[in-house]
A and B are shown apart, each in its own frame.
Chain A
Amino acid sequence: MQFLGYRRADGKVGTRNYVGVLSAVVCVNEVVEGIVRQVQGTVRFTHHQGCCQTPLDIGIVNKTLVGLGTNPNLHSVIIVSLGCESTDITEVTNKIKESGKRVEHIVVQEIGGSARTTAQGILLAQEMVKEASLQQREPFPLDKLVLGMKCGSSDTTSGLVSNPAIGVASDLLVAAGATSILGEVTEFIGAEHLLARHAANKQVAEEILHFVDRMEKRAMAVGEDIRGGQPTGGNIKGGLTTIEEKSLGAIAKAGTAPIQAVYEYGVNPKVKGLVVMDSPGREPEILTGLAAAGSNVIVFSTGRGAPQGFPFVPVIKITGSQTAVVKMKDHIDMDLSAVIDGDVSLPEAGQNILEKIIRVASGEMTAAEISGYVNSMDIYMLGPVI
């Protein structure tokens, strides 16, 4: 099986072909929005970080922007900076350039303010979109897919249907040589012993347990029960009682493939197969993390109906809930509710997801893309704003 994608100089393959306009720091989001509003074929990455943070977090901002800039769904990149931010723009620009793509950098405090920078950005973006539009899709084997996996607004059906069906699809892709990334480490809590058994070796198993312990300690540091935050109020209404129960359903996305490696937030996997990436469960931060890790398509299971998408990586919404199919119709790409009734088996549902992934990777638009609900983005931070 093959999909139709965009060849990139570094060997990666895009499923979309945008010019990305990236904020170096929270303070230039207005300029980025102004540029993107005026030029078809551009997408934005805006966020709330990049200044007055600990060096640890600034390092994550730098690394995440590099990851996003090198994501193969971006043909080329414009970075907008204010000029006084903590983000290391020289390093970010140079590292994205190493991927072989065109990178332009514009600085508000040098050009003359927001209107002049927006104008310059628009002219640059128009030229870059023209270049991008010349590129055609070509067939590629499935090993060029990097699948990101996420579940959100979960209910009981997530653990019974949509997550295990995604696990089947992930196994099929891994068998075809692709990469599949499991994030949401918070939602390993209570199920980490099962995931650790999936590890390809003892070191990976220990790293999984360490990541979960670290995430649980971050949450416990505030001195409260995490229930209400995890599981969320909506999860509880949907019938999920504890984080352990939510996790046992969430890890079904991992399927049965061995976990080959464990990575920090937003890091590109160096190996093929199933890998784990540190991240929380909230949509903006994990979708950004999966994109920064190089995902060119994301599957997202939902029980109650989650609308969020990402600016330049297609996010496929999959539900096992007949209620979500009806009540969140605008946002659902795949209805697996027949699995609950026993009319469709999980292996069949997983095969259907794989076929959907291939079609979306080849250009079929997702509900999030069509509705423009694609601005769920931010960078995961560990420390305080200072």
Chain B
Amino acid sequence: MAIDAIVLNPADNVATAVQALKSGQDASVRIKKELLGIRINEDIPYGHKFAVRAIHCGEDILKYGETIGRATKDIPAGYHAHVQNIESLRGRGDLRKEDK
């Protein structure tokens, strides 16, 4: 059955697009065996992620039920969640001076 996106763990706040999605469309999103309709508010390339609910700046981003980074801006539901609004928490040699 053709779906548009997958949420890999019910705890996740992002979905992964398995089709290229267009702004304005209602995406069919699979969570476990259920299908959820989410309005897409920005074009999402194939394989990229979007917020399935409003994510606040500073909030952890969850995929596979695990933390994959932190929001650097508010990300409303249906918007592209990627490097422009998510930072990594690991391998951050650039942050070392601030940590001290």
Which A residue's beta carbon lies closest to that of B87?
A242
Please name all residues of chain A whose beta carbon is closer than 8 Å to the beta carbon of B51 when the two chains form the complex.
Answer: none
A219 to B94, CA, bound (A): 11
In the complex, the answer to whether A226 meets B91 with C-beta atoms within 8 Å is yes
Known: A191-B66, A239-B82. A230 touches B47 (CB 8 A): no
A171 to B51, CA, bound (A): 34
Cβ contacts A242-260/B at 8 Å (1 or 0 each): 1111001100000000000
In the complex, the answer to whether A225 meets B93 with C-beta atoms within 8 Å is yes
In the complex, the answer to whether B91 meets A223 with C-beta atoms within 8 Å is no
Main SS of chain A's interface residues? loop
Known: A225-B88, A227-B83, A239-B49. A341 touches B68 (CB 8 A): no
In the complex, the answer to whether A244 meets B90 with C-beta atoms within 8 Å is yes
Please name all residues of chain B whose beta carbon is closer than 8 Å to the beta carbon of A222 when the two chains form the complex.
Answer: 93
Among A73-81, A155-163, A344-352, the one that faces the other chain is A155-163
Q: CB of A201 within 8 A of chain B?
A: no
Q: CB of A328 within 8 A of chain B?
A: no
Categorize the interface residue count of chain A.
Answer: 35 or more
In the complex, the answer to whether B91 meets A241 with C-beta atoms within 8 Å is no
- Smallest CB–CB gap between A186 and chain B, Å? 8
Known: A220-B91, A244-B66, A245-B63. A239 touches B45 (CB 8 A): yes
Q: CB of A382 within 8 A of chain B?
A: no
Q: Max chain B CB contacts within 10 Å: which of A222, A226, A245?
A: A245
Q: Max chain A CB contacts within 10 Å: which of B8, B46, B86?
A: B46
B49 contact from A189, A226, A230, A241, Cβ within 8 A: A241
In the complex, the answer to whether A241 meets B93 with C-beta atoms within 8 Å is no
Residues of B within 8 A of A (CB): 1-2, 6, 8, 16-18, 45-49, 61, 63-64, 66-69, 81-83, 86-96
